[in-house]
Structure 1
Amino acid sequence: MLGPKLPPAVLQTPGYAHYSLAWSPFHKNRIALASSANFGLVGNGRLHIVSNAPDLHVDKFFETQDGLYDVAWSEVHENQVVTASGDGSIRLWDIMLNNFAIASWQEHTREVFSLDWSNINKDTFASSSWDGSVKLWIPDRPRSLSTLQAHHACVYQALFSPHQPSILATCSTDGTLKIFDLRSPAYAPSSNTFSTPLSAAALTVPVSGSEVLSLDWNKYRPFILATGGVDKAVKVWDCRMVKMGGDGGVGGVCEAHLPGHEYAVRKVQWSPHSPDVLASASYDMTCRVWNKGRLVYIHDPHTEFVVGCGWSLYDQGLLATCAWDSRLNVFRV
């Protein structure tokens, strides 16, 4: 085996397949878990608030009318979390209150598939949807700040750069990774849509001939990103290499091509503690850990698609995975 295997801590949530997890930026042992009944195809959803001390257990859960696909913690309020739903809605929850969301937005016309709270502009978060758009939000406003018509097709993920607050990356069904500079005059919040929405990307990276399902920014190296998708490969991109065209830049150099997964890669996440360590989760029911481009660990106790993984922000080497088998695993690599 590629590394010593210690049994993970396991939490089972019967009847709810997991889609995403997020470690709290405020509390070392708190995890938010987005889940859906019937594998997210039909039925309701559930937000679980989980503690990892002294063992894994559910502190509280909130029911939703449709499945939940993603979750993100507020960077301002330690008890607030935002969820993305299959009915196109976004909800803000206070985990100290019971039953009902404290805010709700319904602008996306299809499933909301990802959420990201900026860790620099801490009052702002982004959502991406199957409707092809990305929207920027401030929680105390009734409507979105602005809308990026980022792709012609489903936007699986949109993430703010951890280095520059005005830079946002997206990935899509169309096989591309795009980087947007929100300082562009076209993105002024006074207009609700961009003047040249489909050609406004500062950089377009042709990642794959198939869908790109996930991306993540390296936390130490600006403009280094990882992607994963239907082609089963994890790829690392240096997006400083740009060839300018009439509608923006095209380029990006593939710094590393990491084969190994047997099915589509559903999630990639760089370690917050190392510039060289990357985790990937896949429909092959494994989570894999890479270090400097080499496969160093395989986590394979799950019995269904592994669709989420996340590194602890406080405890180096501690990794969580969630899957359609209704299990949340926490283990040390």
Structure 2
Amino acid sequence: MSKRPAEASSSTQNGQAFPKTNVNANKREVGVDNEMGEFEDAWEDEVESDEEVVDAGAKDDEDGMDVDEIIPAAEDTEEPPPASRAYIPGLHTLGNDEELEADESVYHMRHTMRVNWPCLSFDVLRDNLGDERRRFPASVSIVTGTQAAEMNKNEVIVYKMSSLHKTQKDGDDSDSDGEDDDEDDLDEDPIIEFRSIPHHGGVNRIRAQPLPPSTGLPPVNQPYYAASWAETGKVHIWDVRPLIESMEVPGYTYDKTKVNTPAFTINSHGRAEGFAMDWASSGPSSLRLLTGDIHSKIYLTTSTPSGFNALSQPFTSHTSSVEDIQWSPSEPTVFGSCSADRTVQIWDVRSKGRKSVAAIDPAHESDVNVISWNRLTSYLLLSGGDEGGIKVWDLRNIKKAGSTGPSPTPVASFSWHTAPITSVEWHPTEDSIFAASGADDQVTLWDLAVEQDADEAGMEDTPEGGKDIPSQLLFQHLGQKDVKEVHWHPQIPGTVISTAADGFNIFKTFNV
């Protein structure tokens, strides 16, 4: 078994809670000693001994004079530590002697995991520990793939991160009433366990087979699939169930030769690389996987009782690289896609000619990088663009493919991020909340249900010299470099996992 302690959260992690009254990201000077210094007594030459001090006190009492009026108390003359300042990206910049410091008071939980090679895509694996889990310590399992320096050093990895305790804040005390300490308050090192599969070529994107809500792992005799988009142009489907079981069941062993061989490989794309991929939310007896490549083609692979079958005819309405794909959560034959051609297309697999049935053209000013379909309000679709914009679309208003007329207007649009959006995802149980990440090293949490109070408008929402802070922006998590993907954990409410070039972050805030 491969086990090692997780690294402690980095001191350069940073979070911001919005609205502005809850801003928590601070910056401080590097190298400044914030501990209490030794007090220098200005009257040292006149105080010779303890006896003389006592006598002086007695004399003061006789004369009716208060010593504190002559010699101020030590705490009144100490220099306070440098004040922390709220950090707002786009408005503030860090100096050479400054670094970001997290405000732990807004995190319910925050952990950092470093990895040997960047993992630019991952997916959350469901487990048998139950839904709506709110107690600590928490346990999280994910599947991811590496971007190693050499093609033959890449892997598909299943990580299990356990003993994830809530954040210990300065000033936390044990129960003063003498009650037993809650196990939630224990401060122990998290544990990382992992199993890996050799993977030829870097993993551009990886997605796990979706499982029905309120269910755990499939029965023991059924596989749990994960698909990886390789930089070689191939899509591999793996059964990761044995890897999970080996970390859950003591003494469990598996045939590495069998597990290290893909259950199926999709060769439909030839040598064309790709990133777009999504499983349909259907039962294990009828799995469907969509994959899109940089040559604008989308292919469908389905499962049969005897295995997988890759269909040969592609979907071909896009004119540039397909960047992301999402199946409809309510219509089993409908899916959406976005592309570098600036469009979002809606498709029906039953349509003749393999052409899209509706489109948002253009959806963004530049490449549309990512989309997310709301699973609770199925007519809402999120999109994120290369220009840094995030838009929310009402699919009831989009036009049919080939029709004329003005393009639909998004029901909400945000331009807070200052670099390409790399990931967006709706909250699994709250239809107004979503998470986003960008190449500007930000992970942001949003709530469309928040409306700006007229009494709070104005200076409170616009820092001097800066841009407006949207009322819908709940939280901002900083500190990672080159953030690529963000996902909500479907079984632990409000828990967010993000991956970047420097590793993974797992956090839960008090805002969501």
> Could you say which residue in structure 2 is the equivalent of 1:191?
none
Are 2:324 and 1:157 aligned?
A: yes
C-alpha displacement at 1:296, in angstroms? 0.7
- Judged with a 3 Å threshold, the aligned counterparts in structure 2 of structure 1 residues 27 and 284 are, in CA distance, closer, same or farther, namely farther
Are 2:230 and 1:101 aligned?
A: no
Are 2:288 and 1:124 aligned?
A: yes
Between 96-105 and 82-91, the greater mean CA deviation after superposition: 96-105
Q: CA RMSD in A?
A: 2.3
Q: Aligned residues: percent identity?
A: 19
For residues 207-261 of structure 1, give each alpha carbon's deviation from its aligned partner in whole angstroms, at most 9, with x where no partner exists: 1121111000011112211111211111111121134564599743301111211
Are 2:155 and 1:46 aligned?
A: yes
> Could you say which residue in structure 1 is the equivalent of 2:341?
174
C-alpha displacement at 1:183, in angstroms? 2.6
> Could you say which residue in structure 2 is the equivalent of 1:11?
113
| Alignment partners' CA distance in 2, 1:262 and 1:282 | 8
Say whether the 8 Å CA contact 1:73–1:81 is kept in structure 2. yes
| Alignment partners' CA distance in 2, 1:137 and 1:72 | 14
| Alignment partners' CA distance in 2, 1:234 and 1:220 | 19
> Could you say which residue in structure 1 is the equivalent of 2:63?
none
- Judged with a 3 Å threshold, the aligned counterparts in structure 2 of structure 1 residues 157 and 254 are, in CA distance, closer, same or farther, namely same
| Alignment partners' CA distance in 2, 1:161 and 1:51 | 30
Say whether the 8 Å CA contact 2:357–2:401 is kept in structure 1. no
Letter in 2 for 1:92: I
- Judged with a 3 Å threshold, the aligned counterparts in structure 2 of structure 1 residues 171 and 9 are, in CA distance, closer, same or farther, namely same
TM-score, length-normalised on structure 2? 0.58
> Could you say which residue in structure 2 is the equivalent of 1:82?
227
> Could you say which residue in structure 2 is the equivalent of 1:148?
315
Say whether the 8 Å CA contact 2:358–2:398 is kept in structure 1. no
TM-score, length-normalised on structure 1? 0.87
Say whether the 8 Å CA contact 1:19–1:322 is kept in structure 2. yes
Are 2:208 and 1:73 aligned?
A: yes
For residues 174-195 of structure 1, give each alpha carbon's deviation from its aligned partner in whole angstroms, at most 9, with x where no partner exists: 1111111223233xxxxxxx3x
Q: Which 4+ runs in 1 deviate beyond 6 A? A: none
> Could you say which residue in structure 2 is the equivalent of 1:135?
299
| Alignment partners' CA distance in 2, 1:7 and 1:46 | 29
Gaps spanning 5+ residues in structure 1: where?
A: 187-193
Letter in 2 for 1:91: H
Say whether the 8 Å CA contact 1:173–1:210 is kept in structure 2. yes
Are 2:124 and 1:32 aligned?
A: no
Which SS does the other structure have where 1:131 is aligned? Answer: coil
- Judged with a 3 Å threshold, the aligned counterparts in structure 2 of structure 1 residues 87 and 287 are, in CA distance, closer, same or farther, namely same
Say whether the 8 Å CA contact 1:203–1:251 is kept in structure 2. no
Letter in 1 for 2:288: T
Say whether the 8 Å CA contact 1:239–1:251 is kept in structure 2. no
- Judged with a 3 Å threshold, the aligned counterparts in structure 2 of structure 1 residues 125 and 56 are, in CA distance, closer, same or farther, namely farther
| Alignment partners' CA distance in 2, 1:116 and 1:245 | 23
Between 171-180 and 252-261, the greater mean CA deviation after superposition: 252-261
C-alpha displacement at 1:7, in angstroms? 5.7
Say whether the 8 Å CA contact 1:306–1:324 is kept in structure 2. yes
| Alignment partners' CA distance in 2, 1:173 and 1:27 | 39
| Alignment partners' CA distance in 1, 2:405 and 2:298 | 20
Letter in 1 for 2:111: A
| Alignment partners' CA distance in 2, 1:84 and 1:131 | 15
| Alignment partners' CA distance in 2, 1:263 and 1:323 | 15
- Judged with a 3 Å threshold, the aligned counterparts in structure 2 of structure 1 residues 26 and 123 are, in CA distance, closer, same or farther, namely farther
Gaps spanning 5+ residues in structure 2: where?
A: 1-15, 23-105, 130-139, 164-189, 212-221, 243-254, 451-471
Which of 446, 454, 457 is residue 290 of structure 1 equivalent to?
A: 446
Letter in 2 for 1:290: W
C-alpha displacement at 1:52, in angstroms? 2.7
- Judged with a 3 Å threshold, the aligned counterparts in structure 2 of structure 1 residues 244 and 253 are, in CA distance, closer, same or farther, namely same
Are 2:383 and 1:227 aligned?
A: yes
Which SS does the other structure have where 1:125 is aligned? Answer: strand
**How many residue pairs were aligned?**
317
| Alignment partners' CA distance in 1, 2:153 and 2:341 | 29
C-alpha displacement at 1:8, in angstroms? 2.1
Are 2:508 and 1:332 aligned?
A: yes
> Could you say which residue in structure 2 is the equivalent of 1:281?
437
Between 95-104 and 212-221, the greater mean CA deviation after superposition: 95-104
Say whether the 8 Å CA contact 1:242–1:250 is kept in structure 2. no
Which SS does the other structure have where 1:171 is aligned? Answer: strand
Letter in 2 for 1:37: A
| Alignment partners' CA distance in 1, 2:337 and 2:507 | 29
| Alignment partners' CA distance in 2, 1:81 and 1:51 | 16
C-alpha displacement at 1:53, in angstroms? 1.9
| Alignment partners' CA distance in 2, 1:225 and 1:56 | 37
Say whether the 8 Å CA contact 2:161–2:193 is kept in structure 1. no
Between 208-217 and 238-247, the greater mean CA deviation after superposition: 238-247
Say whether the 8 Å CA contact 1:11–1:56 is kept in structure 2. no
